[in-house]
Amino acid sequence: MPGTRSRPPRHLADLDPAARRAAAAELGGEPFRGDQLARHYFARLTDDPGEMTDLPAATRAGLASALLPRLLTAEREQSCDQGMTHKTLWRAFDGAYVESVLMRYPARVTICVSSQAGCGMACPFCATGQAGLTRNLSAAEIVAQVVAGARALARGEVAGGPGRVSNVVFMGMGEPLANYAQVMIALRRLTDPVPSGLGISQRSVTVSTVGLVPAIRRLSAEGLSVTLAVSLHAPDDELRDELVPVNKRWKVAEVLGAAWDHAGATGRRVSIEYALIRDVNDQRWRAGALAGLLSGKLAHVNLIPLNPTPGSRWTASTPGATREFVAALEARQIPVTVRDTRGRQIDGACGQLAASARPSEGPRVLPLMPPVPSAE
Ligand code: SAH
């Protein structure tokens, strides 16, 4: 298995401002060179030393290659929805594959990032879960997915003209709270003000989890107002034990208890993710049971029509069952939306990311973004 033990190269985005300055000094530059590099990377979205004319020519290439190594190489690009949805397959230094998906909407641009190569949570309906975990991504590998999207948008390479990334969702490959330390560093870099970070609003970042209760509680204590999404998928432990195997360890009541405490600590409404699976979890009584759990809580239900994965015995609920499920929640005043199926044609919708298993498959290969400039 590639990269089970080796670590990705150190990158500026792994480091806080003080550590960047120390690293620049160690490399023989003045400490403020660390700040200059951060400005290039986070504000100008470049890691090309040729563009860093404020750095002395003699040390520029050395600093850039030591602190801005290229971590991810775009191996394949796919687009759909008239270019408004764009999936990138990335190859890491060790050959591990991850994917990110950029989705442009009228009033926002959301990037869905991976936090691990593969995933160890083994949810049976999720394509990523089938392949198992390859390794954790480093903070900089997570941030690099957002920087690449931000760069493509800033340069007008995404349909709809120049723009910026407004939202980040940790709903790509991996369980973010199982890679806690690196995800926390990445959250800081994404939300630190420009030019120390990307300046994305904390409230516009969503961390989605299967429900690792101790990690949810740690997150709530970080003082970050990020939005929490809980992948519930069933209101009862019996079914959830099957759909989200980690439920055998932390039950529905404990997971929701931690979620409500997060809402209390941050003031952020918790997003309850529920993939509607035909005749499995879409019964009226389950909608009623779900409403009972959420009634009066700071929560919003996101129903996701199941994206069937290859070889799966499950399929999406019928439109009629979906409407009834929505109606049952609305009748109890539970806010609910049905998620759009952005990216479905390019296997870029929820739960379809399985790059490591299928790196070379896929129709409609549209090279839209240029390769990330090399640091050399
Ligand atoms: N590990 C995290 C984040 C990754 S997935 C988590 O589980 O929350 C993001 C969302 O997509 C989760 O709610 C996940 O359960 C859901 N999902 C996975 N496979 C899916 C599929 N085949 N169809 C619809 N949603 C799916």
Q: Please check whether residue 362 lies inside any domain of the structure.
A: no
Q: Please check whether residue 52 lies inside any domain of the structure.
A: yes
According to the model, what pLDDT value does residue 3 have? Answer: 43
Residue pair 331/323 in contact (Cβ under 8 Å)? The answer is no
* 249 vs 191: CA distance, rounded Å: 32
* 249 vs 267: CA distance, rounded Å: 27
CA–centroid distance, 230 to ligand 1, in Å, is 10
| One domain for residues 37 and 166 | no
Q: List the residue whose alpha carbon is closest to atom 19 of ligand 1.
A: 351
CATH number at residue 299: 3.20.20.70
According to the model, what pLDDT value does residue 107 have? Answer: 93
| One domain for residues 223 and 258 | yes
* 182 vs 174: CA distance, rounded Å: 13
Q: List the residue whose alpha carbon is closest to atom 3 of ligand 1.
A: 171
Q: Number of folded domains in the chain? A: 2
CA–centroid distance, 89 to ligand 1, in Å, is 18
Model confidence over 123-132: pLDDT tens digits?
A: 999 999 888 9
Number of Cβ within 10 Å of residue 186's Cβ equals 30
* 28 vs 51: CA distance, rounded Å: 20
| One domain for residues 322 and 308 | yes
According to the model, what pLDDT value does residue 341 have? Answer: 73
| One domain for residues 87 and 214 | yes
Model confidence over 218-276: pLDDT tens digits?
A: 999 999 999 999 999 999 999 999 999 999 999 999 999 999 999 999 999 999 999 99
CA–centroid distance, 19 to ligand 1, in Å, is 35
Q: Please check whether residue 192 lies inside any domain of the structure.
A: yes
According to the model, what pLDDT value does residue 339 have? Answer: 85
* 131 vs 151: CA distance, rounded Å: 31
Q: List the residue whose alpha carbon is closest to atom 1 of ligand 1.
A: 175
According to the model, what pLDDT value does residue 230 have? Answer: 98
* 360 vs 347: CA distance, rounded Å: 13
Handedness of CA 288, 293, 296, 297 (dihedral sign): negative
| One domain for residues 23 and 82 | no
Q: Please check whether residue 124 lies inside any domain of the structure.
A: yes
- For residue 304, what is the enclosing H or E element? strand 299-305
Q: Please check whether residue 373 lies inside any domain of the structure.
A: no
Burial 130-165 (b: 16+ CB within 10 A, else e): bbebbbbbbbbbbbbbbbbbbbbbbeeebeeeeeeb
| One domain for residues 59 and 204 | no
According to the model, what pLDDT value does residue 309 have? Answer: 85
Question: Token pair for residue 153?
Answer: 């948008």
| One domain for residues 197 and 288 | yes
| One domain for residues 161 and 109 | yes
Mutational pocket test of ligand 1: of 273, 276, 277, 302, the residue with most ligand atoms within 8 Å of the beta carbon:
273
Number of Cβ within 10 Å of residue 256's Cβ equals 21
According to the model, what pLDDT value does residue 186 have? Answer: 98
Pick the closest to residue 226 from 270, 177, 180 (CA basis): 270
SS3 content of the chain, % helix, strand, coil (to 5): 35, 20, 45
CA–centroid distance, 163 to ligand 1, in Å, is 27
- Ligand 1 shell residues, CB under 6 Å: 121, 123, 125-126, 171, 175, 208-210, 231, 273, 275, 304, 306-307, 309, 350-351
Q: Please check whether residue 301 lies inside any domain of the structure.
A: yes
The residue ranges of the chain whose pLDDT is under 70 are: 1-5, 351, 355-376
Q: What is the pTM of this model?
A: 0.93
Q: Please check whether residue 363 lies inside any domain of the structure.
A: no
Q: Please check whether residue 235 lies inside any domain of the structure.
A: yes
What is the position in ligand 1's atom list of the atom closest to the CA of 352? 22
Beta bridge partners of 299: 270
What is the position in ligand 1's atom list of the atom closest to the CA of 172? 4
CATH number at residue 57: 1.10.150.530
Residues identified as active-site = 99, 350
What is the position in ligand 1's atom list of the atom closest to the CA of 307? 23
According to the model, what pLDDT value does residue 355 have? Answer: 62
Domain range enclosing 45: 12-67
Pick the closest to residue 342 from 350, 332, 334, 331 (CA basis): 350
